[in-house]
């Protein structure tokens, strides 16, 4: 049934772990997702997810399809056991592709193919320029954006994750300078991120162009449920705007704070996260503590959440 106070949200890169989704694989009726994924990508994604090694799983061309697949299966299990139609879906970075699947705009096999390509393109586009990404904690996003704007070279606020956590991305020297200025401005902690490129920055412009060409080959549909886009922090429903927003998203900031605030302002007070970990749930809590948050990573999580929601 439609639930105007519910939103379904999906994680991005960083939530992966060796053994992810193994308990769903052990259910015969869900095994076909893994088998079809291996065939679609022409590689043994299942083995990388279950056996690693972690260093290989962390490579973004594998991380992205692994997280999407885990999230899709967790959502499908939930959907088969309780009928809740949310007001919105949203995903953090690559999670936006999962949100589009959950909203009926894209089939999961095409989404899997696209995020594998997306990860490959993001790495390839980063070659040749020393790059860096870093998380800045304890300083507001506007201050961080202004610091980046004043730095010579390419450095941008890439992910507005919470009111006091923003990720910056760009050329190594420019990021180093921005980190120092953020420290001087009162940042409590700065964490350099181990990543395969300068994600969500102009440095990977070519990846946006390459991904756009791939998306034009795919049959997108208008959404059944509005998806709150990372690029605009506004709901999207038309297939034409979906492709444009996904193209811009790869080189633009993830407007996660504004996205969550939009959903809350429009009646959402309950968020269900599908996929590995509970990073997105933690971000939602940091943005607004006065929300109900559930996460479905494992089969056990799914059973607990379904039981709890049926009791409401």
Mean model confidence pLDDT for the chain: 97
Q: CATH homologous superfamily for 2-126+203-310?
A: Malonyl-Coenzyme A Acyl Carrier Protein, domain 2 (3.40.366.10)
Please check whether residue 134 is in contact with residue 168, taking contact to mean a CB–CB distance below 8 angstroms: yes
| 1 pLDDT higher than 70 | no
Q: What is the largest CA-CA distance in the chain?
A: 56
* Mean pLDDT on 114-121: 98
| 174 pLDDT higher than 90 | yes
196 or 273, higher pLDDT: 273
Q: How remote is the C-alpha of 242 from its chain's centroid?
A: 15
| 79 pLDDT higher than 90 | yes
7-25 pLDDT tens trace: 999 999 999 999 999 999 9
Q: What's the CATH fold of domain 131-196?
A: Alpha-Beta Plaits (3.30.70)
* Mean pLDDT on 119-143: 96
For residue 14, give the nearest of 180, 225, 256, 245 by alpha carbon: 256
* Mean pLDDT on 265-276: 98
* Mean pLDDT on 70-80: 98
pLDDT on residue 168: 99
| 312 pLDDT higher than 90 | no
Sorting pLDDT into bands at 50, 70 and 90, what band is 2? confident
Residue 88 CB-half CA count within 13 A: 26
23-38 pLDDT tens trace: 999 999 999 999 999 9
At which residue do the structure tokens 């772990």 appear? 17
User: Hey, what's the torsion of the CAs at 288, 169, 176, 171, to 10 degrees?
Assistant: -170
Residues catalogued as catalytic: 93, 200
**Which DSSP helix (H) or strand (E) runs through 5?**
strand 2-10
Enter the DSSP assignment of 85: E
- Integer Cα distance of 306 and 195 in angstroms: 35
| Residue ranges of the chain assigned to CATH 3.40.366.10 | 2-126+203-310
- pTM of the predicted model as reported, rounded to 2 decimal places: 0.97
At which residue do the structure tokens 């996205």 appear? 259
Sorting pLDDT into bands at 50, 70 and 90, what band is 78? very high
* Mean pLDDT on 150-171: 98
Sign of CA dihedral 273, 276, 278, 283: negative
Question: How would you write 137-205 as a 3-class SS string?
Answer: ECCCHHHHHHHHHCCCCCEEEEEEEECCEEEEEEEHHHHHHHHHHHHHCCCCEEEEECCCCCCCCHHHH
pLDDT on residue 303: 98
Number of C-beta neighbours around residue 294 at 10 A: 20
| Residue ranges of the chain assigned to CATH 3.30.70.250 | 131-196
pLDDT on residue 13: 94
- To the nearest whole percent, how much of the chain has pLDDT over 70? 100
* Mean pLDDT on 71-84: 98
């Amino acid at each position: 049934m439609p639930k105007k106070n519910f939103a379904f949200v999906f994680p991005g890169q960083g939530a992966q772990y060796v053994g992810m989704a193994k308990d769903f694989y052990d259910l015969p009726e869900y095994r076909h997702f893994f088998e079809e994924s291996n065939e679609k990508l022409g590689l043994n994604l299942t083995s990388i997810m279950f056996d690693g090694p972690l260093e290989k799983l962390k490579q973004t061309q594998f991380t992205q399809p692994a997280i999407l697949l885990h999230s899709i299966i967790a959502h499908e299990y939930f959907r088969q056991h309780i009928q809740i139609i949310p007001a919105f879906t949203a995903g953090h970075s690559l999670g936006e592709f999962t949100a589009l699947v959950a909203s009926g705009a894209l089939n999961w096999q095409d989404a899997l193919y696209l995020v594998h390509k997306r990860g490959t393109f993001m790495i390839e586009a980063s070659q040749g320029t020393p790059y860096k990404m870093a998380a800045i904690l304890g300083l507001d996003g506007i201050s961080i954006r202004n610091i980046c704007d004043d730095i010579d070279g390419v450095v941008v606020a890439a992910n507005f994750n919470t009111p006091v956590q923003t990720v910056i991305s760009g050329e190594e020297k420019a990021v180093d300078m921005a980190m120092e200025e953020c420290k001087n401005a009162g940042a409590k902690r700065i964490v350099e991120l181990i990543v395969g490129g300068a994600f969500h920055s102009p440095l990977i412009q070519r990846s946006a162009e390459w991904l756009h060409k791939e998306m034009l080959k795919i049959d997108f549909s208008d959404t059944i449920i509005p998806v709150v886009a990372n690029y605009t922090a506004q709901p999207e429903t038309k297939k034409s705007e979906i492709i444009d927003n996904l193209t811009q998203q790869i080189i633009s900031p993830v407007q996660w704070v504004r996205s969550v605030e939009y959903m809350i302002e429009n009646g959402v007070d309950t968020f269900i996260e599908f996929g590995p970990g509970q990073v997105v749930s933690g971000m939602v809590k940091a943005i607004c503590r006065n929300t109900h948050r559930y996460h479905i990573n494992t089969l056990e999580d799914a059973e607990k959440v379904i039981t709890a929601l049926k009791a409401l």
